[in-house]
């Protein structure tokens, strides 16, 4: 299991990337994170919704309600054009961070 504090600073990137791929709702995102990480990282529901609020406030994602399924309407999130530009910047920043960390952690 990966320490969550290591990943916490990258949650916006992870969630924006998943919403960039397609519009998604909260539970679907948490399941996808578990699936892609082979359950090495799980996001707590409260954390996920705090990220949604932050991304919404910055106008990086836009919520909308989907069709009624299993008794309720799901709240989906779609990425905005501002969100796409921000995600692109985060990806570039991540490449630089990775290169710097690799300089110190390789060959151990």
Residue 79 has pLDDT above 90, yes or no: yes
Domain limits, the chain? 4-105
Give the predicted TM-score (pTM) of the model: 0.89
Inter-residue contact 61 to 77 (CB < 8 Å) = yes
Residue 39, burial from CB neighbour count under 10 angstroms (0-12, 13-18, 19+): exposed
What is residue 5's predicted lDDT score, i.e. its pLDDT?
A: 81
Q: Which residues contact 78 (CB under 8 A, 6 or more apart)?
A: 19, 23, 61, 62, 64
Each residue of 6-60: pLDDT tens digit? 888 899 999 999 999 999 999 999 999 999 999 999 999 999 999 999 999 999 9
Average pLDDT over residues 66-83: 87
Predicted local distance difference test score (pLDDT) of residue 1: 66
Instruction: Tell me which of 3.90.1580.10, 3.90.960.10, 1.10.10.10, 1.10.540.10 is the CATH number of domain 4-105.
Output: 1.10.10.10
């Amino acid at each position: 299991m990966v320490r969550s504090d290591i990943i916490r600073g990258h949650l916006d990137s992870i969630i924006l990337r998943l919403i960039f791929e397609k519009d998604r709702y909260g539970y679907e995102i948490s399941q996808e994170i578990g699936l892609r990480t082979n359950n090495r990282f799980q996001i707590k529901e409260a954390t996920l919704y705090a990220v949604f609020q932050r991304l919404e406030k910055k106008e990086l994602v836009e919520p909308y309600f989907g069709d009624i399924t299993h008794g309720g309407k799901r709240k989906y999130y779609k990425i905005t054009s501002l969100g796409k530009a921000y995600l692109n910047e985060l990806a570039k920043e991540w490449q630089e961070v990775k290169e710097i960390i690799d300089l110190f952690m390789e060959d151990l």
